[in-house]
Structure 1
Amino acid sequence: AKTNFIGTISHELRTPLTVIRGNSDLLLRGLAGPVEDDQKVFIESIRQHASNMTSLISNVIVIANLDSGSLSTDLGPLALMRPVDEAAWPLQSMIKAKGLTLRIELPKDLPEVLADFDQVRMIMHQLLDNARRYTSQGEIVVRANALPEHVLVEVQDTGRGIAADMHEQVFERFIRGDGASEGINSSERGIGLGLAICKQLVERQGGKIWIKSAPGEGSTFYFTLGYAHATPSPEKSPTPLAAAA
């Protein structure tokens, strides 16, 4: 009953937010007439806050489904580029609006992984959105390497970084960065569910997730996915894996 209630309320909230986002996009494209630069700032703010609220609602639904056991995991052969592209696409405009660059560097010959498409897309969306929120300048880079036992995926940013004593805590619910000193408002910071969702979903794929970060040096989130077929014999990756131990 609790999950159904959350689902119903969330649906009712999503509908007007979709209208707000859609109309904001139309205004920014000038379909209602010329838009001055100062007006664009306000319209972009409306669109971004609506997008943040939509993400929050989605996270609440996922958490409710995880807690109730109603979220099923359908593992199958998966080409990683598809969920990565689908996760990145809705965030492109907000990443660009912050003056950030997004680079996706996946090898064309990357073997298929054994994973749930929707859940990998959700993991990537959460990690990219987290990088966007906490990065004020620079870039976000997505990479993947075929290692002997699994595919290693990484999402790297040039944000403010995270202290070592928080590396485990960031994957707990309702834990979030302060962000105040970096000019990150409370709406951008969310309520601290995204990385907790990532951890649970990665574990459902049979993988692990961890972070390498330090204040002022940005952050890199790593997670692993098993192979869908026989293990290949890739070259050794230069990526340090000590943090996975």
Structure 2
Amino acid sequence: MNKTTFETLLGDRDFLDDINQGVWVADTQGRVVYANRPLVRILGYDSEQALVGITLRDLLTPDDAAQLAASKANADPKRQTCSVILGRDRRTIPATVTVTRRTKGGAAWFIGIVTETAPDLPPAADWASRQVMENSADGICIIENNQITYVNRRLEELTEYSSPQLGRMTLDRLVSPRDRKTILQLLAEPHRLLGPVHHEVRIVGRSGREATCDMRVVPAETRGRMLLICYLRDISQLRQAERVRADFIAMVSHDLRTPLATIKEAISLLAETASSRLEARQQRYLGIAREEMDRLNRMIDNLIEVARMESGKLSLHIEGVDLAPLLSSAVESLALLISKKNLTIERSIPNRLPPVLADRDRLLRVFNNLLDNAIKYSPVGSAIRIEVTLVDPSAPVLAEPGILANTAYVQVTIADSGPGIPAEFLERIFGKFERVDPHGPGIGLGLAIVRSLIEMHHGRVWASSVLGEGASFSFILPVKEN
């Protein structure tokens, strides 16, 4: 179409790019020769040129295209109206589509005008949705093509910017530099999001005040447009309360250690010096006291470890660690509990096992917690099985987030013959203060510590169980390369 014909048919091209309706022009063969920018947006294409050259059969349903072809054959000048149009990848988009046949100077053209239609919702529903968003306790914004297109009142309060100011900004400008990379990756490929994603970010207000927020981003596609709906919940006070709690637990735990160490030393001294003069019943009582002291010390160690993790004060000293001797140390430290229940420890460890990359003391705590858990639930006279293997490079677990790429891994499994774990608890038991039996022993921190420590080592831990046949806990750690 030459410029003179175009201006005669449609007028000013810049004006057509500024209106809200999509417009196309097609020749008598049904090939699109012009499309304005709103049509590109409505249909979800990248540019006007991506539409030029496609046929009306790519834009209309088969029935509508057939009806248009019939009108062309009959030279019918009347308008044809359709209720949908096909977007990119032939997605159906609700719209009012008016197609008109025009002739000028012996040439014929089809002119299409596309007006988006809202979903069939009653007016009250649209009003209610907006009221919910405006009065939400969460800051909410909608992002399209990296640009903020809508914000609610709560986000204005959170950021200390007005809605017009936020409309000229991108989300990455609102977060701390520490979190900017995460946001930029999110905005760069929104089409890759298969569902909601969560991140903890720090929002920086206009005054420079930081607010720690739980950010939930939900991808949404509407009328061929890719949107991101972002929910920001201020959790600054929650995080502050957690830090206070962690500091309190650490302080109390440290204060308890000194008197407990004194009591334990006194019991040990009494057992060594007076055992020959004590009756069997009295010796048994001393043994119980020593066991309970050891149990209290393990609880306090777990409380201190959790407090360090929550306060961010836990650091790792990574080195090459041989698993076999470390496992032996863990078994020896729990020998009293093992012998009391007459348990057998069965080990399956390859002779030439490569060392793993780990913090020796933290890994020993992982072994102690898992073995202690297995001992608790093992029947008297049963066996606890420890198996160490190299992970198959094609194993699905190596594709999970946080796992080091192109790195060999070792898997450790500790299994008992206890009552087992219900399926609905297999994930929950790794949470803090979670226990399958609320009346059972322990305070529910051991497995939470195991998960946190293993993930800090770029590993993964999981549980599997068959009720009545016991439970097994497995984790993987990276191998130290030569």
Letter aligned with residue 471 of structure 2: S
Q: CA deviation at 1:39?
A: 2.5
Larger radius of gyration: 2
Contact 1:157 1:220 survives alignment (8 Å): yes
Contact 1:83 1:118 survives alignment (8 Å): no
Letter aligned with residue 113 of structure 1: V
3-state SS of 1:155 partner = strand
Q: CA deviation at 1:28?
A: 4.8
Partner of 2:436: 177
Partner of 1:145: 389
Q: What does 1:54-203 correspond to in 2, within 5 Å?
A: 54-137=297-380, 138-148=382-392, 149-178=408-437, 186=440, 189-203=441-455
Name the structure where helix makes up a greater proportion of residues.
Answer: 1
Q: CA deviation at 1:23?
A: 4.0
Letter aligned with residue 153 of structure 1: V
Deviations 1:101-131 (A, max 9, x none): 2234322211111111111111111101111
Corresponding pairs, count: 223
CA RMSD of aligned residues (A): 2.2
Specify which structure has the bigger relative contact order, considering alpha-carbon pairs within 8 angstroms and separated by 6 or more residues.
1
Deviations 1:127-171 (A, max 9, x none): 011111122321222220123341110111112211111100110
Cα separation, 2, equivalents of 1:117 and 1:111 = 15
Q: CA deviation at 1:52?
A: 1.3
Stretches of structure 1 that go unaligned for 5 or more consecutive residues are 181-185, 231-245
From 217, 229, 244, give the equivalent of 2:469.
217
Q: CA deviation at 1:219?
A: 1.1
Partner of 2:261: 18
Cα separation, 1, equivalents of 2:364 and 2:468 = 28
3-state SS of 1:121 partner = helix
The 1:218/1:30 distance shift into structure 2, 3 A limit, reads farther
Name the structure where strand makes up a greater proportion of residues.
Answer: 2
Contact 1:27 1:35 survives alignment (8 Å): no
* Further displaced range: 150-159 or 95-104: 95-104
TM-score (norm 2): 0.43
The 1:27/1:158 distance shift into structure 2, 3 A limit, reads farther
Stretches of structure 2 that go unaligned for 5 or more consecutive residues are 1-242, 393-407
* Further displaced range: 24-33 or 99-108: 24-33
Contact 1:207 1:224 survives alignment (8 Å): yes
The 1:17/1:212 distance shift into structure 2, 3 A limit, reads same
Cα separation, 2, equivalents of 1:196 and 1:25 = 31
Contact 1:105 1:142 survives alignment (8 Å): yes
3-state SS of 1:177 partner = coil
